[in-house]
Each structure stands twice: as C-alpha cells, then as structure tokens.
Structure 1
C-alpha cells in the first residue's frame, strides 16, 4: 500500500499523551532478531574500504606528476565519505556489542581517517536524535551559513542575509564548501575551551591525519596541482556528505519546543526514507532508511530493510504518515523548503522603511 508524503513545512504541536505503538513495534523487531549485531558485514565493509584506500594511494604514487591525479582526489572524497558512514554506525553502537569497542572504532575512523572530531560529532548528533526537527533543541537546525527556520532567516544581516535570501538556489553549490566547514569545526572543537572527550587522543589523531594526507600531496605534486588535488577531494567529500544527509529531515514536520509528541510520532513525522534498494543503501550508507534508523539507532545497516515493513505497518495502525520518496523528489522538497525559509530574510540594499511596509 502506498503511503502519502507528509505535509511539507509544517510546524506543529501534536497532541500530548497520544498513545504510542512503539512498545509493540520494538517487541516485534526484537523477536525478529533485527537488533543483533552484523559483525561479518561490517568487517567485510571495513576491509573493502581499506583496500579501496590502499588502491587510491597506489594510484597516487604510480601517477606522479599528472593531472589524472584529480581522479584519485575525487575517489578519495568518496572513500572518506564511506569511512564517515561507517564511523557514524560505530558511534550508534551498531558494529560491536561493546560500547568501548564501538567508540574506539568510531574515533579511529572519524578523527584518524576522515579528519572529523568524534567528540564534536557525538555531542551534536546525540542531541539531534533526541529532538529531531524540534526548533530550539535540534542542533541541526542551528544557523550554519543558511537558515532552516523563518526566525533565523529574518535575523540575517549583511552578506548572510544575501545568501539566505537566495539559499534555495545556492544550497547545492554551498555543499561544495561543507568539507572545509566540517574540518574547521572539528579543529575548533578539539582545540576549544569546552569539554572534549579524550581531547589529547582527538588532537593527535586529527593532526596526524592531516599531516599524513597533506604532506605527501605537496611533496609529490607541483604546487598548483597539489592545491587542485586538495580542492577536488574536499569538494567531493563535502558534496557527498551534504547530499547524503540533506534528504533526511529538511522539509519534514517540525515541532515547537513545547510540543509533546510520543516517541513514535516524533521520529517518523520528522524523517524521510529514500527508495532505491541495496544500491541506494550502499550509496547513502544506510541513511536512506532514516525513519528506521531514528527509531532503532543501534540497528545494523543490513537489518534496516526488514524493519521497514514492520514500521510501515505500525504507522498505518497508528495513523502516522510514513514518508518514503525518490532521491530526486527529496531534493526537490529540500530546495523548495530552503527557498520558502529564505524568503523571510531581509532584502539587502533596500531601504528599511520600504522593507517595513512591504513595498517591493
């Protein structure tokens, strides 16, 4: 049975104390064995990624001073993103039964291979999972060059107002800079004054990773080619990460800070699944099953598809809209939402009095 898409751009305060079908759903998932670990899958995936990274390094050495190196740079952008997906799954305790082992793997992959602060990611992502699309509580809705809520768009001034006003058109191009943004935020967090779990180890991993990646590039390649190599790698990495995470929640139901939806409704209404089978699951690192991932964060990637039918059935029983669409349609909704929010931004270089009275 086809389920309709959730109403777009809705901010709501769902009924308090609504009955939740999550308990029976959780029992059904447990009985089906879908919360068991999938270590063979993850060991195979990690081995494949290590071999792919080794192949890229071998290609870099063999090509030497050649502009074909930019193909290696693009490949590295893809490989690092795939490592980031695996690090994300380790942070959710999906790989090992031991929390300590999952954290060790997650930190090694995130900080040591990808170059992202594991501590920063854990802090931000844990808060997001607890309050997805809750205005004022979900850190993923915070201002970050673009605005995700009208109030932030209206507060934009200067260059940010100009960007916000046109953020629908600029959203995808801006993703090219997301790789730089993630690395900068990671270093700021690691060297900042706030609390950082395992700060010393985090700094050692981040600095070592950057040195191991950058020094060979600038030693082997001419200066211009080296900068081009790093630029392509960062653009591919940032765009791939952004394009994978953007469809998850943008344009879905948003909740006011005083909303009290039950767990099942909050997670399903705020999330969107992407159709496409195993090919899409590999491409998006399991993020295409965003609804199931939010309901069962520790569920291993191979079990998400089986859980999908159970969650859909539970949604029908509870009268909750379960949103699943194509990747292209999801991007269209994302762009329309960003345009809608962007229109709240002040017009740059316009007389404040004219803007106040709405004369265009």
Structure 2
C-alpha cells in the first residue's frame, strides 16, 4: 500500500521527536557544571591554603564567572593527606577539585601517602610564594652562611622546627643538600604560629616561613637570614637569597589545582578557563599581592613540565627518618612477667 501524506504523518512526527530527543540528549551530556563545584582544601579553615582558595571563590562569585557556586570543603588532618585522598577517590565528573601546594609531592616522597601528582589530572598552577629562613632575635647568627658552616662543624646540634614530610621540612632538606655536610635535627612543631612560638621560646634554633607569614611575624622578635628564591623577594629587597650566601638551595611554594583522574577533557578545559578568568580579575591580583604571592598562572604542557620537574627535584633529597622507638608495651609486659617469675621462684625456695 503506497504511503500517502496522511499516512506518513505519524512517521514524520516520530522522526522529529527522535531527532529532538537525540539533540537534547547530546546537549545534556555537554552541560557543565550541573551543580556546585566543591574545592577540597586539605587544611583547617583560616590557614593560608584556605584563605587562598576563598579568594578565588569570592572572585568567581563577584564576577559571576560560574553559573553555580564554588563550595570550599575543609578536610584537615595528616598533613593534608586526608583531604587529598578524598579528592583522589571523588567521582571524576569535574564537580570535585583539590587545591594543594607542593605538599602533594612531599607527602608521597616522605612516605606519608602512597599517591601523588600522577594520580590526579593537573588543572593549573595559580600562585607562587617564597620561603624565608628565620632565627630568633637572640640568635648568634647574622647570616645563613655562618649558620650552615656551624651545622657542618656541629651536625645535628641545631634544631629546625618543621612539619615532617611537609614542604617546610623540605626547605630544610634543600638547605642541607645545598651545603653538603650540614645536618639539622628536626622536630615536629605545627603551623606558622606554632613555629613562631617555638622559635621565640628557644625550643628550636631556626625555621622556615612563607613570605606572608614572615611579614606577619617579623615584629615578634625574629630575624630573617635568607630567602630561598632564585632572586630576592620584592617585598624584602635587602634580604639576600641562600644562593647569594653560598648555599645552593632554592625552594618555594606553588599552589596547584587538581581534578580526579579520568575527569573528561572538556570539563578540564572549562575549569582551566574558569581559573584563568578568575586569575585575571583585579580582585585576585590585589589580594595575592597583599599575601606577597606572585600571580603566576600555568596550564597545559608548561604545567605538566612544572609538575614533572618538581617531582624530579625531590629524588635527589636524602631522607633520614627517626629511628623507630622500641615496642614499649611489650617491653613493660616482659619486665612485669620477669619480676613475677622472680618473686614466685623466691617464694618457692623459702
């Protein structure tokens, strides 16, 4: 039976409906974001990393750069590894990100985490800050060179306050590598405010601060000996670098954004563009300037090269982990059993 125009109408309606459904389906697949984007900060609220991410959050909101809000989720603990693990295990749909500095490299290198940069999709690097090596005002050392010479003459006598396995710890390790033979003794101190208290109290001989931390603490009775940047910090043009003082050590912090492994490329591109637009705002540049951070931005192959080089830089670092303590509960139990046996034997002999 031939198909007349009247008989073809149902088929045409079906074809049009099918085509529309396919088009709508394809469009829905490309829609991103579909909800709020969560940024995991693996440190406590109010710290440097938290403040950094909230600057971006505020700039995105003020400039209406994203149709959905940016939500900051603080998952602190274990030197940032609790938060980074949560980000690694998140659904790779682009709605969960991680902002973590060089701690992602040092935690893996030190053995605090069995994952690292290769377990994520690098999104962008969006800021760089230097490190200041400082002592208390009562310290006999006026230069980093003199301190390092003493650390060679008297190895393990000078205590460096740090967080073991964190970037601050690696600042000290780079100093040791930069003047072979120098050795520090490390003690666990905590964040910047705690390191300041330990330094002022005479519990540690030296420590490292970010440039922003030193700016905040410099009037509290401490003295800077050097920065660990390639060149002098613009904020402290009279403060020499470690390299200027004969210590071949360069170290600093760079803020990185990471997505779970397997996040689709179109979504990575959207997020990179979002971070680029945010970085270009006057709000972010002014606030980073107030934090003494360089408004550095990197994506693509230059970013991948930076990730590779920062990982490679740690391979030459020699780790000297503390000797494990003896199993104290077992030793105590053994002594108790031996004493009980001795008393029992003495009683039998009477």
- TM-score, normalised to structure 1, is 0.24
- TM-score, normalised to structure 2, is 0.24
Ranked by relative contact order (alpha carbons within 8 Å, sequence separation 6 or more), the top structure is: 1
Structure in which a larger fraction of residues adopt helix = 1
User: Which of these two proteins has the greater Rg computed from alpha carbons?
Assistant: 2
